Amino acid sequence: MTKPQTTRKKRANGVESRQRILDAAVEISGERGYEGTSIAAVSAACGLPASSIYWHFKDKDDLIAAVIERSFDTWLAAFELPDEESGTPLERVTAVAGNVAKSLVDAPDFLRLGLMLALERRPAEPRGRTVFLQVRDIARAKIAEMAASLVPGLDEESVQILTTYAVAGADGLFVQREINGDAVDLVAMFELHAQLVYDAATRMAARRTA
């Protein structure tokens, strides 16, 4: 009544504000890590005052955790194994690797922040770190499942070792690209990685069966 509800540009819009804050936070925390991300910087980047950030998020820890949580699904989606008819096991593994690589090239902030959180050892572990490691474990489980289903005959220990190795290669190649930029063809390297791991897996399985 007091204020006619014409299509105001700047109507209070909680959802949109939250998004803007998160967008700013992903970028900054992806570049500068946990400690390097100041509320003031996020505020400046999203155009909302610092106190508004505290309306949407309990505290800084909560904000960083939310950043991780938001990328959650997108990230895990890349790990879906294509249908059986879509090709040979190797082709299917390679396809997954390529997808993951592409998603990393497109949105590197998630993993960059995640790895920084993972490497840090601070007295009070940030919740974002916990969340990231959980997501990581889910991804790991998916890979282990892939290995077991695509390369029959692998014992559990081999699956674990191969999975660890697969994840390590992915992380390492990502780091490589972060350091050397476009000089590293991430998709190609991921595909090579997939192939080497697949080869190793089949050889391991063969050795065991023999």
Partner DNA sequence: TATGAATGAGACTTCATTCAT
Partner DNA sequence: AATGAATGAAGTCTCATTCAT
Binding site for DNA (CB under 7 A): 8, 10-17, 37-41, 48-56, 59-61
Q: How far is the CB of 86 from its own copies (least distance, A)?
A: 26
Nearest approach, Cβ of residue 66 and its own copies (Å): 20
Q: Which entry of its own copies, DNA, none binds 59, CB below 5 to 8 A by partner kind?
A: DNA
Smallest gap from residue 83 Cβ to its own copies (A): 29
Secondary structure, 3-state, the chain? CCCCCCCCCCCCCHHHHHHHHHHHHHHHHHHHHHHHCCHHHHHHHHCCCHHHHHHHCCCHHHHHHHHHHHHHHHHHHCCCCCCHHHCCHHHHHHHHHHHHHHHHHHCCHHHHHHHHHHHCCCCCCCHHHHHHHHHHHHHHHHHHHHHHHHCCCCCHHHHHHHHHHHHHHHHHHHHHHHHHHHHCCHHHHHHHHHHHHHHHHHHHHHHHHC
User: What residue 179 binds from its own copies, DNA, none (CB within 5 to 8 A, per partner kind)?
Assistant: its own copies
Cβ neighbourhood burial of 44 (10 Å; 0-12, 13-18, 19+): middle
Residue 48 touches which of DNA, its own copies, none (CB < 5 to 8 A by kind)? DNA
Nearer residue to its own copies within complex by CB, 84 or 206: 206
- The least distance separating DNA from the CB of residue 210, rounded to whole angstroms, comes to 58
CB of 37 to DNA, least distance (A): 6
Nearer to its own copies, 82 or 206 (CB): 206
- Which of DNA, its own copies, none has residue 193 at its interface (CB below 5 to 8 Å by kind)? its own copies
Smallest distance from DNA to CB 78, Å: 31
CA distance 95 to 80: 10
Instruction: Give 84 or 137: the residue with its C-beta nearer to its own copies.
Output: 137
Q: Which is nearer to DNA, 15 or 183 (CB)?
A: 15
Query: Phi and psi of 28, rounded to 5°?
Result: -70, -45
Residue 33 or 153 having the CB closest to DNA: 33
Which CB sits closer to DNA, 2 or 180? 2
